[in-house]
Amino acid sequence: MNSLLKISVISLVFLITNSVLAQDIHFSQFYNSPLNLNPSLVGAFNGDYRFVGNQRTQWSSVTAPYATFGLSADANGIFNSPIGVGLSVYNDRAGDSDFSTLQIGLGGSYNIKIDSTQSFQIGIQPVFTQRSINYNDLKFDNQYNGSFYDANIGNGETFGNTGETYFNLHAGLSYNKKIAQRKEVNAGFALHNIVRPQQTFFNADIPLHQRITIHAGGLIKLSDKIDVLPNILFQKQHKFQEIVFGGQGKYHLNNGNYKALYGGIWYRNSDATYFNVGLDYADFHFGISYDLNLSSLSVASQNRGGFEFSVIYIISRFKPEIKRYKACPDYI
């Protein structure tokens, strides 16, 4: 097999693999990217304000690195109501063409308490999306002169559009039940791309397919120091689907600001296994994960996937204790 054919085969495998796994922006640490996972998770946390950052780099061993970056902020109990609001920004840049996707979403949720231990939460998320591409660094077969690639030869292609913008809409529902101290279960369902916007750069009918997300997880106390947090995620978009399952252990440090350590292992069907470690420090949670590629792309990637980082910061306002009565000294 000559070098040109090898490059073609690797490129084809690469494109197919990413079509299956990257229809929408996603993270391996989906549990640390709540507003991207399910709109109903806006405001679903213990505290008043939450700030989340996610960064992922992959395929640097194969081609120009794919980089995904996300920032979100949300709050709950707005005006002492069951309403949560959030803002999220995600950017994904892929390949030699710098194919870029920018998403800006506004989210809102409503919490329905069933009793003191369980609740439902519904959410909606309008999203503005902008996509762009740079054709300058792409190479085409017309520029192969029979012996080697020649950039001075015209590519024979005509591109009339380098960008596209569209409106999108997501919605979701989630459930949480606290069974006991350090023992709870949760589940959720979300529908993304409800309006199926046109995503093509050309004059064609190519809508963005709807994506179904189903997720579930829990918290199980094993001992005074150790908890287990299992999770499962199922996503389906058009004819592609993704299943992720695994979990992590949590070791309580209870040492000043150093609160807990995490470590876990995950499997994404027919694609990768990945490992994560984490730390709770003061009001921060830090997470790091690394993917090991197991798909057909492993011939080119040598099983190397990429690193992903996450940070979550939660602010809880001080709530002064309200005294309902004033005690008088007993000597009066």
Span 78-112, pLDDT tens digits: 999 999 999 999 999 877 677 889 999 999 999 99
Q: Provide mean pLDDT across the span 315-331.
A: 59
pLDDT digits (tens, 9 = 90+) for 228-239: 999 999 999 988
- Whether 328 is in a domain gets the answer no
41-55, 132-146, 227-241, range with the lowest pLDDT: 132-146
Share of the chain above pLDDT 90, in %: 59
pLDDT of res. 2: 43
Q: What is the reported pLDDT for 319? A: 56
pLDDT for the residue numbered 7: 39
Contact 37, 45 (CB under 8 A): no
Do strands 284-293 and 83-94 pair parallel, antiparallel, or not at all (unpaired)? unpaired
Q: Per-residue pLDDT for 47 more than 60?
A: yes
- Beta bridge partners, 100, equal 93, 132
Query: Measured between alpha carbons, how far is 250 from 226 in angstroms, rounded to an integer?
Result: 6
Look at residues 162, 157, 159 and name the one whose alpha carbon lies nearest to residue 133: 162
Give the range of the structural domain holding residue 96, as residue numbers without chain letter.
3-315
Report the alpha-carbon distance of residue 71 to residue 309 in Å, rounded. 12
Q: 29 in a domain, yes or no? A: yes
**Distance of alpha carbon 53 from alpha carbon 67, whole angstroms:** 14
Confidence of residue 227 (pLDDT cuts 50, 70, 90): very high
- Per residue, the 3-state secondary structure of 64-117, as one string, reads CCEEEEEEEEEECCHHHCCEEEEEEEEEEEECCCCEEEEEEEEEEEEEEECCCC
Read off the CATH number of the domain in which 261 is found: 2.40.160.60
Query: Cβ distance 253 to 281 under 8 Å?
Result: no
332 part of a folded domain: no
Q: How far apart are CA 50 and CA 87, in angstroms?
A: 11
The CA distance from 197 to 185, in Å, is: 34
**Beta-carbon contacts of residue 242 (< 8 Å; ≥ 6 apart):** 20, 21, 26, 233, 234, 235, 236, 268, 269, 271
* Residue of higher predicted confidence among 202 and 101: 101
Nearest to 56 by CA among 94, 15, 99, 96: 94
CA distances (Å), origin 314, targets 107, 129, 272, 282, 311: 18, 27, 31, 9, 10
Q: What is the pLDDT of residue 3?
A: 40
Where does the pLDDT of residue 270 fall: very low under 50, low under 70, confident under 90, or very high at 90 and above? confident
Contact 89, 70 (CB under 8 A): yes
Average pLDDT over residues 209-218: 96
User: What pLDDT score was predicted for residue 16?
Assistant: 37
| CB-neighbour burial class of residue 163 (10 A; exposed 0-12, middle 13-18, buried 19+) | exposed
Mean local confidence (pLDDT), 191-218 = 90
The pLDDT-based confidence of 293 (bands split at 50, 70, 90) is confident
Classify 241 as helix, strand or coil.
strand
pLDDT score at 142: 73
The domain tally of the chain equals 1
Residue 30 has which token pair?
């989906």
* Structure confidence at residue 28 as a pLDDT band (50, 70, 90): very high
- The answer to whether residue 224 sits within a structural domain is yes
Predicted confidence (pLDDT) at residue 152 exceeds the cutoff of 60: yes
Alpha-carbon distance of 191 to 235, in angstroms, equals 10
